[in-house]
C-alpha cells in the first residue's frame, strides 16, 4: 500500500527545509529537525540532495528562475519604465505574501550567493535580475520618465527596501499586501522624479499594473520556462 511514490519525498523535503531556513536561518536549520518533522531518516535527505549546501543552492536557483521569468512576462505587457518599476515592487510584496517561506529563505540567505562554491548559478541569475532593474532605471532616465541619477545606486536602494521586508512583513497585518506595495511604489516613483499623478496611477493597487502582476503571478499569462 505504501509504495514508493514516483517523485519520491523530494518536494516535501525541500519545502520543509525551506521553511526551517526561513524560520531559523541556514546555519541553525538542520537535517535532524527536518527529518523528524517529516517522520523520516536523515539519510533520506542526504540521498536526495547530497549536501546541505546543494539543497540551499537548489532553493535559491528555482526561486530566482521563477522571479526572472515573471519579470520578463510582466515587461512584455508593460512598456513604460515607471510601470515596470511599480510592477516589480508589487510583485516583490506579493512574493512575501504568497510564498513567505521561500521568499524569507531567499532574502535572509542571499549573502551566501557571494563567493560560495556551488552558488555560481544562483548568483548569475541574481545578477541578471539586477541588470534588468538597472536597465529599466536607465531607460526611464533616458526617456525623461525619471530625473537623472545613479541607476545602480537606485536599484540598490529599491532592493534594500524589498529585501528587508522579511524582518517585519506580516501578510495578515494591518495593511493588505497590495496597500503596502502601493505605498512603497508611490514613494519610490516620486523619489525617482516621476510626477505625482503618474506615480499614483502606476502604483494604484486597482490599476493596470497591479492587474498585470496579478495575471502573471496567477499564471493567467504564459511565463516562458527557459
Residues in the site for its own copies, rule: CB under 8 A? Answer: 25, 27-28, 108, 110-111, 149-150, 153-154, 156-157, 159-165, 167-168, 175, 180, 183-184, 186-193
- CB pairs under 8 A, 24+ apart, for 77-80? 77/212, 77/216, 77/221, 78/208, 78/209, 78/212, 80/145, 80/202
Measured from the CB of residue 109, what is the shortest distance to DNA in angstroms? 13
The C-alpha cell at 224 is 516562458
Contacts to DNA from residues 15-34, by CB under 7 A: 28-33
Binding part of the chain for DNA, among 2-10, 117-125, 136-144, 146-154 by CB under 7 A, reads 2-10
Check residue 148 for interaction with DNA (CB under 7 A): no
CA angle 160, 163, 166 (to 5 degrees): 135
Using the minimum distance from each CB to its own copies, give the nearer residue, 44 or 187.
187
The C-alpha cell at 62 is 528555482
Measured from the CB of residue 72, what is the shortest distance to its own copies in angstroms? 24
CA angle 47, 67, 48 (to 5 degrees): 5
The C-alpha cell at 175 is 495593511
Q: Which of 18, 37, 53, 181 binds DNA (CB under 7 A)?
A: 53
Measured from the CB of residue 58, what is the shortest distance to DNA in angstroms? 13
Whole-angstrom distance, CA of residue 49 vs CA of residue 55: 6
Binding part of the chain for DNA, among 40-48, 80-88, 105-113, 163-171 by CB under 7 A, reads 40-48
Measured from the CB of residue 1, what is the shortest distance to DNA in angstroms? 7
Using the minimum distance from each CB to DNA, give the nearer residue, 4 or 225.
4
Check residue 224 for interaction with DNA (CB under 7 A): no
Q: Which of 217, 186, 216, 211 is nearest to 82 (CA)?
A: 186
Q: Which of 56, 7, 15, 70 is nearest to 226 (CA)?
A: 70
Using the minimum distance from each CB to its own copies, give the nearer residue, 51 or 161.
161
- Is residue 159 classed exposed, middle or buried when 0-12, 13-18 and 19+ CB atoms within 10 A define those classes? middle
User: Between helices 81-98 and 196-203, what is the axis angle to 10°?
Assistant: 40
Taking CB within 5 to 8 Å according to partner kind, which of its own copies, DNA, none is near residue 65?
none
Number of residues that bind DNA (CB under 7 A): 30
Using the minimum distance from each CB to DNA, give the nearer residue, 29 or 162.
29
Taking CB within 5 to 8 Å according to partner kind, which of its own copies, DNA, none is near residue 25?
its own copies
Amino acid at each position: 500500500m505504501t509504495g514508493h511514490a514516483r517523485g519520491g519525498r523530494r518536494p516535501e523535503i525541500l519545502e520543509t527545509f525551506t521553511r526551517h531556513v526561513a524560520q531559523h536561518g541556514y546555519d541553525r536549520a538542520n537535517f535532524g529537525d527536518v527529518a523528524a518533522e517529516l517522520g523520516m531518516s536523515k539519510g533520506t535527505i542526504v540521498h536526495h540532495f547530497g549536501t546541505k549546501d546543494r539543497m540551499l543552492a537548489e532553493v535559491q536557483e528555482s526561486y530566482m528562475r521563477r522571479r526572472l521569468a515573471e519579470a520578463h512576462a510582466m515587461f512584455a505587457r508593460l512598456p513604460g519604465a515607471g510601470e515596470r518599476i511599480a510592477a516589480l515592487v508589487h510583485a516583490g510584496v506579493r512574493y512575501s505574501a504568497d510564498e513567505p517561506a521561500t521568499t524569507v529563505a531567499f532574502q535572509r540567505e542571499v549573502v551566501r550567493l557571494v563567493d560560495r562554491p556551488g552558488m555560481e548559478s544562483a548568483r548569475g541569475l541574481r545578477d541578471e535580475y539586477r541588470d534588468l532593474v538597472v536597465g529599466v532605471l536607465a531607460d526611464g532616465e533616458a526617456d525623461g520618465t525619471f530625473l537623472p541619477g545613479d541607476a545602480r545606486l537606485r536599484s540598490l536602494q529599491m532592493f534594500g527596501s524589498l529585501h528587508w521586508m522579511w524582518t517585519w512583513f506580516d501578510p495578515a497585518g494591518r495593511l493588505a499586501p497590495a496597500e503596502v506595495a502601493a505605498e512603497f511604489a508611490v514613494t519610490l516613483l516620486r523619489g525617482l522624479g516621476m510626477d505625482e499623478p503618474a506615480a499614483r496611477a502606476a502604483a494604484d493597487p486597482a490599476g493596470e499594473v497591479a492587474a498585470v502582476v496579478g495575471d502573471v503571478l496567477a499564471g493567467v499569462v504564459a511565463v516562458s520556462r527557459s
